[in-house]
Chain A
Amino acid sequence: MSFQEVHQGRLRTPFYSRLEKLDRLNNWHEWKGYSSADALYCEDTEYFAIRNATAVFDLTPMTKYRITGPDALDYLNRLVTRDMAKIEPGRVAYAVWCNDEGQVIDDGTIFHLKAGEYRLCSQERHYAWLMAAAMGFDVSIKHETEEVAALAVQGPTSFSSLSAMGLDGLGELKPFDLMHFDFEGAELMISRTGFTGDLGYELWIEPAKAEALWDALFDAGELFGIRAIGTHALETARIEAGYLAVREEFLPADELARTGRSRSPLELGLEWMVDFKKPNFNGRRALAEEKRRGSTWRLVKLDIEGNKTAHHSYIYAREKGNRSEIGFITSALWSPVCRQNIAIGTVKAPHGRPGDTVWVEVYYQREMHWSRVMAEAKVVDKPFWSPSRRSATPPGPY
């Protein structure tokens, strides 16, 4: 790469020319070396595109690794906690990977592209760890973030928008399925995945075809209210869906200096993804021990009374004779679609069982002065937002 290609010290994704035209706010941030928009014109309108129409998000900066070779499956099975043998070609798996101490390094999605060929996507970069984990395996790991342009196309009309592009067979795609299509002679991969908890897809294509794909998609989606969105709208949808975000609900264990600041998958409510039937995977010994002894932390989803958003609040026990501090909020917002004051937090086990109530100490400001309210909050089990259209196959034409 020559220096000329680097603009203002930040990379631009292949969709930049299109985003730039829609951008009214000039609110951008850095995402793994790329410019990524916080919002393009109006955060709220963008959010409602996710819940009411078709929202398009440029996820090209998402870290992508291609994992191939005869041992690719064995390699992944040692890397992540869940059983990858169950993930057939054409399927996608949400996965989490740990260090030897059973602490989460990151979560991400693994796409079984073709037999024995995988793509691992994550928020953070992990080349050193992936390579270290490759010792003893006949496997090749290639960083391909720059070689794949990607769009998230999410929302109730996303299927209609994509269908209008003439993508035959898309209706059969079940959640976590992926399919390959031809787009102007290039391979377009579409997976029924996303970060919104709604009906939605992700589109993957070579960068040279990125602009053409964008144009075709926006032409087809015009009638269905298609809108480009930035990360803020997506973050709202993410919390409503109850998904974890690295650097919010957990920090990558391999970069922490302090002990006790990392989280295990058991502490993040991901026990369903830890398959102790596998004889060996990174973190297995430590996790088995944790399961035996009990975890220190528990992730909770909270439905909080009132309408004051509980950003960074402390959580207190609400038991007879016990009002001690038991944890804190990691993500919080007023959910427009649920009309609920919701949050994700971390509390000391055994507190925070589904159905428990806790206190949340919410500070808020009114004309410079701060006020405080102790709000009652209920621990809920299910995602705050999970409409039936999310998993309906074929999806309805909205």
Chain B
Amino acid sequence: MTDRYDAIVVGAGHNGLVCSALLAKAGKKVLVLEANDQVGGAAITREFADGYSVSACAHLLYQLQAKVRKDLKLGPKLAADDMATIALSEDSRHVRLSGGSVDGVSDSDAVSYREFHSRMKRFAGLLSTYLNKTPPRLGSRDFEDLATLARLGFDVRRLGKREMREFLRLIGMNIYDELMERFESPLLKGALSLDAVLGTHLGPRSPTTMFTYLYRLAGNQGKMSAPAGGMGSVSEELAHVARESGATIRTGMPVKRIMIENGRVVGAETEGGEKFASYTVISNADPKRTIMKLVGARNVEAGFARRIHHIRMRGNAAKLHLALDGLPVIEGLSKKDFGERIVIAPDEHYVERAFNPAKYGESSPDPVIEMTFPSLRDSTLAPTGKHVMSAVIQYAPYELKGGWTDGARKDFESVVIKTIARYAPDLEQRITASELLTPADIEREFHITGGHWHHGELALDQFLFVRPVSGAAQYQMPLDGLYLCGAGAHPGGGVSGAAGRNAARAILSRERSA
């Protein structure tokens, strides 16, 4: 062993970078080991066809925490901000959602939506406070734990009697029931259903989808933007700040194992056999990969290993990237509209039906799709006059029956293209290259178990006190020197930086109290 560091961060995902930047700013000697050649993890921009680039995994920025921006003085340049959502209709009477307003629905729906949205924003605001806090330990007598817990109770109570009841009624339920009670427009219900299930292994009728919807809003009140240069530019900026603060980032260095001696962490060893010493190892990898592969189940206690093993993290979202020699035509959309977020979720039943086959290991024959054409507002992504499409497709189960063979991939890609072509008939002629990333590909390329972008299903039973698992929700794992700083830790996925920031703060405050 050669160099000793104050902390080694395994993985330069955006959370790993936030965490290492904050630790380095606090004067720590930090080494970041990244498996891929590029920093950013699932928040990267990369070329998938000659001259065509795209945000390879995460493609919309809607959760980057203000506190992260402030602490690291980030100013990501945005190609698009406050993007609207356009829900496509086959008869071209599309619905457009922007903030609290919705066009293309009945007056009563518009009113209901305004009410719904303002209430959701209020509830999301309550959640958002806790995104940037270490979850309190239950049963602890520590002042900070008790204070946070008391504050949580107080905040819920402060909503007022009626709203508190409403919050407690909604938080565990499925979004479908709520939508059915409130709205008429199938397109509106479809679009809201999609927001509740995107990136999860849940349908709109699954429990806790109201919560996943709120989580999405909690990040930044649901405001979506597209960073200039793709999501990679956010990671590049974070890496720059981390390096400026003194952190060392080494890419192309996959960590093979986290080294343990005498029941504590002592460093990390790469696949290449290089060893780096540190008594603090912070894993940006998902909890399953961290514990079961990098640490080894035998090096932790059996109950903890069992809880980690049981984390639900079956990815169900695929990415499709298309290189287009021009924008397709969608009746009822102007060219400018292609700069917004376009969704295919014609009604709430459609979304649930798309989920049905996924329960049995089959991909959706009529998938739900979230599309963006980022090149419209960002010319760096495609040659002049040409365009790229980046889409999230559901459902594409990680454990596809028969596996993601070339045949299965080709079939699914053509299903997706045919689905979009129902609205954009000339799409197929415009395609010059394509790339499909199934959850299996996402697992392989971004080293996320199950290809689940939240590093573990986001649901009430895997949130706050119990994320990643009970007894380990304070970023410190029950193995001396081991921490988690990725989306598998509280609060969860999305390019938010909250987990990375909270982890760094937990590590630093622990050191102060020691």
Quick check: B305 and A132 within 8 Å, CB to CB? yes
Nearest residue in A to B296 (C-beta to C-beta)?
A136
Kindly list chain B residues whose C-beta atoms are within 8 Å of the C-beta of A338.
Answer: none
Kindly list chain A residues whose C-beta atoms are within 8 Å of the C-beta of B300.
Answer: 280
Q: In whole angstroms, how far apart are the Cα atoms of A75 and B302 in the complex?
A: 10
Is the C-beta of A135 less than 8 angstroms from some C-beta in chain B? yes
Quick check: A135 and B292 within 8 Å, CB to CB? yes
Q: In whole angstroms, how far apart are the Cα atoms of A71 and B303 in the complex?
A: 19
Q: In whole angstroms, how far apart are the Cα atoms of A282 and B300 in the complex?
A: 8
Quick check: B298 and A285 within 8 Å, CB to CB? no
Quick check: A285 and B478 within 8 Å, CB to CB? yes
Is the C-beta of B299 less than 8 angstroms from some C-beta in chain A? yes
Between A79, A101, A132, the greatest number of chain B beta carbons within 10 A of the residue's beta carbon is seen for A132
Q: In whole angstroms, how far apart are the Cα atoms of A279 and B299 in the complex?
A: 9
Quick check: B297 and A135 within 8 Å, CB to CB? yes
Between B260, B261, B299, B303, the greatest number of chain A beta carbons within 10 A of the residue's beta carbon is seen for B303
Quick check: B305 and A135 within 8 Å, CB to CB? yes
Is the C-beta of B142 less than 8 angstroms from some C-beta in chain A? no
Contact with B along A116-135 (1 / 0, CB 8 A): 00000000000001001101
Quick check: B302 and A100 within 8 Å, CB to CB? yes
Kindly list chain A residues whose C-beta atoms are within 8 Å of the C-beta of B303.
Answer: 99-101, 132, 282
Quick check: A136 and B301 within 8 Å, CB to CB? no
Is the C-beta of B51 less than 8 angstroms from some C-beta in chain A? no
Quick check: B263 and A136 within 8 Å, CB to CB? no
Is the C-beta of B140 less than 8 angstroms from some C-beta in chain A? no
Kindly list chain B residues whose C-beta atoms are within 8 Å of the C-beta of A74.
Answer: 298
Name A51-98 residues within 8 Å CB distance of B: 71, 74-75, 78-79
Is the C-beta of B306 less than 8 angstroms from some C-beta in chain A? yes
Quick check: B301 and A282 within 8 Å, CB to CB? yes
Quick check: A280 and B301 within 8 Å, CB to CB? yes
Quick check: A280 and B299 within 8 Å, CB to CB? yes
User: Given A99-B303, A100-B478, A136–B298 Cβ distance below 8 Å?
Assistant: yes
Contact with B along A5-36 (1 / 0, CB 8 A): 00000000000000000000000000000000
Quick check: A283 and B305 within 8 Å, CB to CB? no
Contact with A along B380-396 (1 / 0, CB 8 A): 00000000000000000
Nearest residue in A to B310 (C-beta to C-beta)?
A132
User: Given A282-B301, A283-B301, A285-B478, A132–B306 Cβ distance below 8 Å?
Assistant: yes
Q: Is the interface of A mostly helix, strand, loop or mixed?
A: loop
Q: In whole angstroms, how far apart are the Cα atoms of A385 and B304 in the complex?
A: 41
Quick check: B301 and A284 within 8 Å, CB to CB? yes
Q: Of A71, A133, A279, A285, which is within 8 A of B302 by CB?
A: A133
Nearest residue in B to A135 (C-beta to C-beta)?
B297
Kindly list chain B residues whose C-beta atoms are within 8 Å of the C-beta of A279.
Answer: 260-264
Q: In whole angstroms, how far apart are the Cα atoms of A269 and B305 in the complex?
A: 28
Kindly list chain A residues whose C-beta atoms are within 8 Å of the C-beta of B298.
Answer: 71, 74-75, 78, 135-137, 280
Q: Bin the interface of chain A by size.
A: 20 to 34
Interface size on B, residues (CB 8 A): 20
Q: In whole angstroms, how far apart are the Cα atoms of A275 and B260 in the complex?
A: 19
Is the C-beta of B425 less than 8 angstroms from some C-beta in chain A? no
Contact with B along A303-346 (1 / 0, CB 8 A): 00000000000000000000000000000000000000000000
Quick check: A285 and B301 within 8 Å, CB to CB? yes
User: Given A135-B297, A136-B296, A284–B263 Cβ distance below 8 Å?
Assistant: yes
Quick check: B304 and A136 within 8 Å, CB to CB? no
Q: In whole angstroms, how far apart are the Cα atoms of A390 and B305 in the complex?
A: 42
Least CB distance, A83 to chain B, in whole angstroms:
14
Q: In whole angstroms, how far apart are the Cα atoms of A281 and B260 in the complex?
A: 14
Least CB distance, B265 to chain A, in whole angstroms:
12
Contact with B along A135-148 (1 / 0, CB 8 A): 11100000000000
Between B262, B296, B298, the greatest number of chain A beta carbons within 10 A of the residue's beta carbon is seen for B298
Q: Is the interface of B mostly helix, strand, loop or mixed?
A: helix
Q: In whole angstroms, how far apart are the Cα atoms of A76 and B254 in the complex?
A: 32
Q: In whole angstroms, how far apart are the Cα atoms of A371 and B309 in the complex?
A: 56
Least CB distance, B56 to chain A, in whole angstroms:
32
Kindly list chain A residues whose C-beta atoms are within 8 Å of the C-beta of B305.
Answer: 132-133, 135-136
Is the C-beta of B471 less than 8 angstroms from some C-beta in chain A? yes
Q: In whole angstroms, how far apart are the Cα atoms of A283 and B301 in the complex?
A: 7
Q: In whole angstroms, how far apart are the Cα atoms of A372 and B262 in the complex?
A: 54
Kindly list chain A residues whose C-beta atoms are within 8 Å of the C-beta of B478.
Answer: 100, 285
Q: In whole angstroms, how far apart are the Cα atoms of A79 and B306 in the complex?
A: 13
Q: In whole angstroms, how far apart are the Cα atoms of A67 and B354 in the complex?
A: 46
Quick check: B263 and A132 within 8 Å, CB to CB? no
Kindly list chain B residues whose C-beta atoms are within 8 Å of the C-beta of A136.
Answer: 292, 296-299, 305
Contact with B along A278-300 (1 / 0, CB 8 A): 01111111000000000000000
Q: Of B292, B296, B304, which is within 8 A of A100 by CB?
A: B304
Kindly list chain B residues whose C-beta atoms are within 8 Å of the C-beta of A99.
Answer: 302-303
Kindly list chain B residues whose C-beta atoms are within 8 Å of the C-beta of A283.
Answer: 301
Q: In whole angstroms, how far apart are the Cα atoms of A150 and B262 in the complex?
A: 39
Q: In whole angstroms, how far apart are the Cα atoms of A294 and B416 in the complex?
A: 63
Least CB distance, B475 to chain A, in whole angstroms:
17
Least CB distance, A266 to chain B, in whole angstroms:
17
Nearest residue in A to B301 (C-beta to C-beta)?
A100
Between B260, B262, B298, B302, the greatest number of chain A beta carbons within 10 A of the residue's beta carbon is seen for B302
Nearest residue in B to A130 (C-beta to C-beta)?
B302
Name B335-350 residues within 8 Å CB distance of A: none
Nearest residue in A to B303 (C-beta to C-beta)?
A100
Quick check: B299 and A132 within 8 Å, CB to CB? no
Kindly list chain B residues whose C-beta atoms are within 8 Å of the C-beta of A132.
Answer: 302-303, 305-306, 309
Nearest residue in B to A276 (C-beta to C-beta)?
B263
Kindly list chain A residues whose C-beta atoms are within 8 Å of the C-beta of B301.
Answer: 100, 280-285
Kindly list chain A residues whose C-beta atoms are within 8 Å of the C-beta of B471.
Answer: 100
Least CB distance, A136 to chain B, in whole angstroms:
3
Contact with A along B145-159 (1 / 0, CB 8 A): 000000000000000
Kindly list chain A residues whose C-beta atoms are within 8 Å of the C-beta of B302.
Answer: 78-79, 99-100, 129, 132-133, 135, 282
Nearest residue in A to B263 (C-beta to C-beta)?
A279
Q: In whole angstroms, how far apart are the Cα atoms of A79 and B471 in the complex?
A: 20
Least CB distance, B313 to chain A, in whole angstroms:
16
Nearest residue in A to B305 (C-beta to C-beta)?
A135
Kindly list chain B residues whose C-beta atoms are within 8 Å of the C-beta of A135.
Answer: 292, 297-298, 302, 305-306, 309
Kindly list chain A residues whose C-beta atoms are within 8 Å of the C-beta of B260.
Answer: 279
Q: In whole angstroms, how far apart are the Cα atoms of A71 and B304 in the complex?
A: 20
Contact with A along B465-492 (1 / 0, CB 8 A): 0000001000000100000000000000
User: Given A100-B478, A137-B298, A280–B263 Cβ distance below 8 Å?
Assistant: yes
Q: In whole angstroms, how far apart are the Cα atoms of A75 and B301 in the complex?
A: 11
Q: In whole angstroms, how far apart are the Cα atoms of A101 and B470 in the complex?
A: 12
Contact with A along B274-309 (1 / 0, CB 8 A): 000000000000000000100011111111111001
Q: In whole angstroms, how far apart are the Cα atoms of A281 and B305 in the complex?
A: 12
Least CB distance, A65 to chain B, in whole angstroms:
15
Q: In whole angstroms, how far apart are the Cα atoms of A132 and B304 in the complex?
A: 10
Nearest residue in A to B297 (C-beta to C-beta)?
A136
Least CB distance, A292 to chain B, in whole angstroms:
14
Nearest residue in A to B471 (C-beta to C-beta)?
A100
Q: In whole angstroms, how far apart are the Cα atoms of A294 and B320 in the complex?
A: 59
Known: A132-B306, A136-B297, A136-B298. 14 other contacts (CB 8 A): A71-B298, A75-B298, A78-B298, A99-B303, A132-B302, A135-B292, A135-B306, A136-B292, A136-B296, A136-B299, A136-B305, A281-B301, A282-B301, A283-B301
- 24 A–B contacts from the bound complex (CB under 8 Å): A75-B298, A78-B302, A79-B302, A99-B302, A100-B303, A100-B471, A100-B478, A132-B302, A132-B303, A133-B305, A135-B297, A135-B305, A279-B260, A279-B261, A279-B264, A280-B263, A280-B299, A280-B300, A280-B301, A281-B301, A282-B302, A282-B303, A283-B301, A285-B301
10 pairs of A and B residues whose beta carbons are closest in the complex: A136-B297, A279-B263, A133-B302, A100-B303, A132-B306, A135-B297, A136-B298, A100-B301, A279-B262, A280-B263
- B interface residues, Cβ below 8 angstroms from A: 260-264, 292, 296-306, 309, 471, 478
